Structure 1
C-alpha cells in the first residue's frame, strides 16, 4: 500500500519541500494543505499559530489515512511541533534552518527567514549549538515570502527590489541559509542580486531523507523518474482570487484542482 504524506504550509512555498520528498518517494500519495487565510505565518502570534495549525492538520488526518505529517514551514515548525506530536499518533517532521551544514563550509553566514523565525529563541539556540564561532547575520523579510508566492503563479521577480532587501548583506556573507520553504524558489534571483558565488543552503533534501527513514520506505527507485500513479490532493483554508493561477501551478505538479474547506469549518 502506498504511504500517505501530508505536507502543510501557510502558503505554497512548502512545494519546495514536496518536490524533494517526491523525488525520494515518487509512488507515495500526497496531500498538500495551506492556510492562506492566515498567510503569512511570520506575522502571527505563537498561540494563533498553534491553534490554526493543530486544527487544520487534525481535521485532515481524520479525513485521510495519513502516515506522516510534514510541517513545511520554518516559522510554524519552531512552535507547533510539540503540540502536534502530543495530539497525533503518527510522525510529525518539521523544517529546521540549515545552520549546521552552513557552519561546516563557512564562517560568514546569512540566515534568511521570516521576521518570526529570526526572533525565535529556537533559532538562536541553533546558532549557539552549531555555529558558535561563525559570524551569523539574520535577516527577516515578509516581502520575500510574498515575492516567492508571486513568482510561483507567474509574476516576475523585481531584482531591484530584491537587491534592496538583501543590501545589508552585500559583500558581507558568502553562504546563505534559506530559512523559509518559500525561498528556494528565489535561488536564481538571489544569486543575481548578490552574485553567483553565493552558496545557498536549504533543508529540503534533509527533510526528504528523514521522511523516507521514518516511513521505512525504499523509495521505489530512489530518485528515478517513475510513472505517476497517484494524483495529489490540495486544500486551502480560504477562497483565493488567484485560484486559476494556483490551479495551474498545482496541476503542473500532478495535483487535483484546489479544494477550499474553510476555517474553522472543516
Structure 2
C-alpha cells in the first residue's frame, strides 16, 4: 500500500512526530501540513481549531489520497480527534493517548505533570486520559502559552530558550512530579532546556515515539504497510513562511528530509 501517511499540525511542532514515524517506518511516505500562518492554535476558539484541522485533513484526502491521518497537534487532538475519527473511513490517531500511556509506564511516584497550550490544558484531555488508564494518579497541569510562538519564531536556536523555559515552567518546578508530559508537539524542540530546568530526576515525555508505534501497529494490523523497495520521497507543506519552516526542519532533522512547499488552506473545507 504505497499511499502516504498524512501528518498535520498547527505549525512546525508535528515535525517531532514525523521524525519518529520516519525512523520507525522508513518505507512510509509522509505528507506533512503545518498551518504556520494561523499558529498557535492554543489560544484560539474551539470552532476555529476544529475548522482548521478539518481543512488540513480535507486537503490531504483530496490531493494526496492518504491511507492514515496523524493529528500531531495536542490542541487539535483534544478538540477535533473524536469528530474526525468518527467521520473518516481511514485510521486517524492523535498524540494524547500515546503520551499518557508512556508517562504511566515511566512514573515511579504516580505524580505526573502536563504542560501544554491554553486549549489543551483547559480541555483536561491529558488528565482524563491518564486517570482513565490508571486511577489514583496525581496530575499537575500548566498552560505555557509563550512556548509555541517562541519555537515558531525560530529563536529557540539561541540562548534565550533558557529564559523562556524558566519563565514558563517555574510553577511546575516544586510540585513533586517525577514525570513531565510535553503536551504540545512543539515542546520537544525545547526538550534540552526543559530537562535542564526541571532537573535530571524528572523524566521528560514526548508522545512522538509512542504515536509512531501506534501508527505502525494499526497499519500492520490493517495490511496497509508499504512494501515498496523504493525510497520514499516526503513532502512538507506550510501555510506560512517557507524559509523559516525549512530552517527549523533542517535544524530538527539535521538535514532536509524532503521538499518544502507553501499551500493555502483557507476555506478549502466548509462544514
Rounded to whole Å, the distance in 2 between the matches of 1:17 and 1:206 is: 9
Which residue matches 1:174?
A: 178
Which residue matches 1:189?
A: 193
Which residue matches 1:235?
A: 237
CA distances 1:106-155 after superposition (whole Å, capped 9, x unpaired): 32221111111111143332243235323211111121122333458744
> Do the aligned partners of residues 245 and 122 (structure 1) sit closer, same or farther apart at CA in structure 2, a change above 3 Å counting?
closer
Alignment check: 8 A CA contact 1:7 1:18 kept: yes
Which residue matches 2:69?
A: 69
> Do the aligned partners of residues 37 and 123 (structure 1) sit closer, same or farther apart at CA in structure 2, a change above 3 Å counting?
same
Alignment check: 8 A CA contact 1:26 1:220 kept: no
Alignment check: 8 A CA contact 2:59 2:268 kept: no
Structure 1 residues 66-215: aligned runs within 5 Å: 66-96=66-96, 98-104=99-105, 105=107, 106-151=109-154, 154-172=157-175, 173-215=177-219
Which residue matches 1:224?
A: none
- 3-state SS of the aligned residue for 1:2? coil
Rounded to whole Å, the distance in 2 between the matches of 1:151 and 1:191 is: 20
The two structures have a TM-score, normalised by structure 2, of 0.85
Structure 1 residues 19-58: aligned runs within 5 Å: 19-58=19-58
The two structures have a TM-score, normalised by structure 1, of 0.86
Rounded to whole Å, the distance in 2 between the matches of 1:162 and 1:36 is: 21
Unaligned runs of 5+ in 2: none
- 3-state SS of the aligned residue for 2:75? helix
CA distances 1:73-124 after superposition (whole Å, capped 9, x unpaired): 1111112123222432211111115334323423222111111111114333
Alignment check: 8 A CA contact 1:16 1:204 kept: yes
> Do the aligned partners of residues 18 and 200 (structure 1) sit closer, same or farther apart at CA in structure 2, a change above 3 Å counting?
same
Rounded to whole Å, the distance in 1 between the matches of 2:166 and 2:22 is: 32
C-alpha deviation, 1:203, in angstroms: 1.6
Q: Over the residues paired in the alignment, what is the CA RMSD in angstroms?
A: 2.6
Rounded to whole Å, the distance in 1 between the matches of 2:198 and 2:124 is: 28
- The answer to which of 156-165 and 36-45 deviates more is 156-165
> Do the aligned partners of residues 107 and 82 (structure 1) sit closer, same or farther apart at CA in structure 2, a change above 3 Å counting?
closer
Rounded to whole Å, the distance in 2 between the matches of 1:184 and 1:176 is: 12
Alignment check: 8 A CA contact 2:49 2:76 kept: yes
Rounded to whole Å, the distance in 2 between the matches of 1:101 and 1:39 is: 27
Unaligned runs of 5+ in 1: 222-226
Rounded to whole Å, the distance in 2 between the matches of 1:68 and 1:265 is: 20
C-alpha deviation, 1:8, in angstroms: 0.1
C-alpha deviation, 1:213, in angstroms: 1.6
1:254 to 2:254 alignment? no
